[in-house]
Structure 1
Amino acid sequence: MIKIKELADCSGCTACASICAHDAIEMRPDAMGFLYPVVDTDKCIDCGLCEKVCSFNKSYDTSLNLLRPDAYAARHKNMEEVESSRSGAAFIAISDWILERGGAVYGVGYTDFFRVVHKRAVTRAERDEFKGSKYVQSDLGSIFRQVKRDLKSGQTVLFSGTPCQTSGLNAFVGERLREKLYLVDIVCHGVSGPYLWRDYLTYLEKKQGDKICKVNFRDKQRFGWGAHHETFEFVKSGSITFNYLFYQHEMFRHSCGKCHFCNIVRPRDITIADFWGWEKTDVNINKDDKGVSLVLVNTEKGRGIFEQVRRAMYVIPAKLEDCLQPNLQHPTRLHPKRMEFEREFQTRGFVYVMKRYGNFGWKSTVQAFGKRIKNKLRRMMRR
């Protein structure tokens, strides 16, 4: 049976729980809401499948990978899609192709009180909920089993998620069912705890005396593509913005600090990300600061679907060495006080740890906004 000796050895992908035919494994939350497998020894028959399916290790499946990924800068030709997406809307082009052929698309959306979860979509309206960044680890629930049911019924499936999630699903589905499964991962900086997000929203609603009706982890419309601001819309009192709160290294999952997928040998068909350093590829593709996607094509299957969807985008080949942002080279380094942060969150609560560790409050937002204005002025003067 699976045993987690070190917390950093588990990414919470749910593959072990999903493969257990006796439902002997339950995913239980820790103090910050990160899920870990717990085995019911009364139900377990010690078959070993849960251990075999675990792919959060250096031996994850790379049998289908190209020797080197094909790299591109990409932006959707429909500017409305770009403006409503986090980067250049490459995911929209790919998922549209799947939906047009009657396939199912899996991505990250929200459920009750904006809890971050994986969902299934078979229409564009359902899929559009997956747009935008969500820096909280998503709850996969029984999604892996649902994906397998779709594949067994002959349906084409696109699954998007973090590399640990795509690697876990790839191992769970197995070689026989992979033909109609397309995996898209993101270049992930790290994921924050669901309970932090829950308590953050509770705090904001209490402070405002109002209900939140919309959230945006990175408000591109107001602050531009390169900014990191969380904006919250309230039913009566409008919006408020905070700066960079859910990007702190104190609040990431332990496994993010030893991620095995922070390289160019990705465990999926296509990788998408913000294209930091796009200027080295083309000085005009993001001149308006609306966003541009980095696309890495990792497998022959990925090449096939990318050739089908590239007509919906402006695509420029890129040199791989110009695309190597930090998390394509090494894992995020967790903060030295990561464990202290968790203990104090558990004993003292959300407001205490955010004031101590985070950029928490209106002052940080004003400072960040002022810095953005100064940077814009500098760019204008250089022109």
Structure 2
Amino acid sequence: MIQIKDKADCCGCTACASICAHNAITMQPDALGFLYPVVDKDKCVDCGLCEKVCAFNDHYDTSLNFEKPIAYGARHKDMREIETSRSGAAFIAISDYVLENGGVIYGAGYTDHFRVVHKRATTKEERDEFKGSKYVQSDMTGIFRLVKKDLCDGLTVLFSGTPCQTSGLNSYVGKRLRENLFLVDIVCHGVPGPYLWRDYLAYLEKKQGSPICWVNFRDKQKYGWAAHHETFKFANGGGKMSFTFLFYKHIMFRKSCGKCHFTNTKRPSDITLADFWGLQRTDPTFNADNKGCSLVLLNTEKGKRLFEAVQDRMNVIPAKLENCLQPNMIYPTVIYPKRDKFEKDYIRHGFKYIYFKYGEEGWRYKLRNFPNRVKQTIKKIIRK
């Protein structure tokens, strides 16, 4: 039976729980809301399938992969799609094609009060919920089994997620059903804990005195493609806070993100999508309006055929792979050294305490940032 002795060895993909025919494995949250498998020994028959299906290791399946990915920059021809997507809306072009041909889409959306979960979509309206970045690990409970049922029913499925999720799904589904499954991963920086996101929203609502009715982790329309600011709409107004700041400190990530096996160009998916950072080395004019551009990596023949089928929906430029390599395509994110202390503080004192101690509204951050603020003020005075 599967036993997680080191949390860094589990990405929470749910493949082990999904494959258990006796439902002996449930995914249980830790203090930050990250899910880990827990085995009911009374139900377990010790068949070993849960250990065999685990694909969070260096031996994940790359049997369909090209020697190296084929890289492109891509922007949807419909500017409205670009403006409402995180990058260049390549995912919209690809998923539209699958839906138009009777397929289904799986991606990260919301349930309850902006809790991030994976969902199934059969229409473009349902699929639109998957647009945009969501810097929280999505709950995958029950999703792998739904995907498998769709494939057994003869449907074409496009599944989008982090590479650890696509690797787990690929292993769970097996080669027999893989033909009608298109896997799309993202270049992932890491995933924060769901409970932190939940508590953050509750803190903002209490501070604002109003419920949140809309969230955007990276508001491109207000701040531009390159900016990293989240925006909230309240029933009585809106504002920008510092959850993204904590995200980029790598302090609230799942421990497995620090030893990710997929930070390379042998991706566990047919297609990899990302923001095309470094686009200027390929074509500085392609994104002159700063609305966003998708990096598209074609990793398999299946992925290549799918991309070619939708290429006329986008403006596309070829790129050299060496000009596209982002840090998380070379090595895993380095977890913040005080990550364990952060978690202990959260357990002992709650969200508000860690928000001010580690976040940009706390006095420590303001003190460290004070010299920069002075320099910026002096520059403004000189310009005048």
Q: TM-score range by the shorter chain?
A: over 0.9
Aligned partner of 1:125 in structure 2 is 125
Report the Cα distance in structure 2 between the residues aligned to 1:247 and 1:51, rounded to whole angstroms.
33
Partner of 1:331: 332
Equivalent residue for 1:239?
A: 238
In 2, Cα distance between the equivalents of 1:285 and 1:113?
A: 38
Structure 1 residue 235: deviation in Å? 1.1
Shift of 1:359: 2.2
The aligned residue for residue 61 of structure 2 is 61
Tell me by how many angstroms 1:355 deviates. Answer: 1.2
TM-fit CA distance, 1:313: 0.5
Residue 140 of structure 2 is aligned to residue 156 of structure 1:
no
> After the TM superposition, which residues 83-122 of structure 1 pair with which residues of structure 2 at under 5 Å, given as runs?
83-122=83-122
Match of 1:22 in 2: 22
CA deviation string 1:47-96 (max 9, x = no partner): 00000000000000010000010000000000000000000000000000
2:34 is equivalent to residue 34 of structure 1: yes
- Give the distance between the partners of 2:288 and 2:341, measured in 1 at CA: 42
State the one-letter code of the partner of 1:294: L
Give the CA deviation at 1:358.
1.9
Deviation of residue 247 (structure 1)? Answer: 3.1
Distance in structure 2 (CA, Å) of the matches to 1:277 and 1:334: 24
Compute the displacement of 1:110 (Å): 0.3
CA distance in 2, matches of 1:4, 1:63: 27
1:23 match: secondary structure? coil
- Structure 2 partner of 1:176: 176
Distance in 1 (alpha carbons) for counterparts of 2:361 and 2:128: 30
- Name the structure 2 match of 1:221: 221
Amino acid of the residue matched to residue 338 of structure 2? K
Question: Counterpart of 1:248?
Answer: 249
CA contact (8 A) 1:272 1:295 kept: yes
Deviations 1:208-264 (A, max 9, x none): 11010000000101110111111110012x210124333331100000000000000
Q: Normalising by the residue count of structure 2, what TM-score does the alignment of the two structures yield?
A: 0.94
Match of 2:359 in 1: 358
Task: Note the C-alpha offset of 1:286.
Answer: 1.1
- 1:264 corresponds to which residue? 265
Residues 122-158 of structure 1 deviation map (CA, whole Å, 9 limit, x = unaligned): 0000000000000100001100000000000000000
Residue number in structure 2 paired with 1:381: none
- Equivalent pairs: percent with the same residue? 68
> What secondary structure, in the 3-state scheme, does the structure 2 residue paired with 1:250 have?
coil
Deviates more, 1:16-25 or 1:343-352: 343-352
- Counterpart for residue 298 of structure 1: 299
Conserved? CA contact 1:135–1:247, under 8 Å? no
Give the unaligned 5+ runs of structure 1: 378-383
CA distances 1:274-319 after superposition (whole Å, capped 9, x unpaired): 0100011111111111000000000000000000011101100000
Cα distance in structure 1, aligned partners of 2:114 and 2:223: 22
Q: Distance in 2 between matches of 1:120 and 1:317?
A: 32
RMSD after superposition:
1.7
Which residue of structure 2 aligns with residue 72 of structure 1?
72
Alpha-carbon distance in structure 2 between the residues aligned to 1:233 and 1:276: 28
Distance 2:254 2:239 in 1: 27
The SS at the match of 1:242 is: coil
- Paired with 1:357 and 1:340, the residues of 2 have a C-alpha distance of 11
In the alignment, is the contact (CA less than 8 A) between 1:248 and 1:358 conserved in 2? Answer: no
Would you say the 8 A contact 1:277–1:323 is kept in 2?
yes
SS in 1 for 2:230: strand
For these two proteins, the number of residue pairs brought into alignment is 368
**Deviation readout 1:352-374 (Å, 9 max, x if unpaired):** 1111112248x98xx9xx99xx9
Whether the 8 Å contact between 1:216 and 1:232 is mirrored in structure 2 is yes
Mapped to 2, the partners of 1:78 and 1:66 lie a distance apart of 30
Report deviation, 1:174.
0.4
In the other structure, the counterpart of 1:344 is 345
2-structure distance, mates of 1:343, 1:272? 35
SS at match of 1:168: helix
Report the secondary structure of 2:70's partner residue.
strand
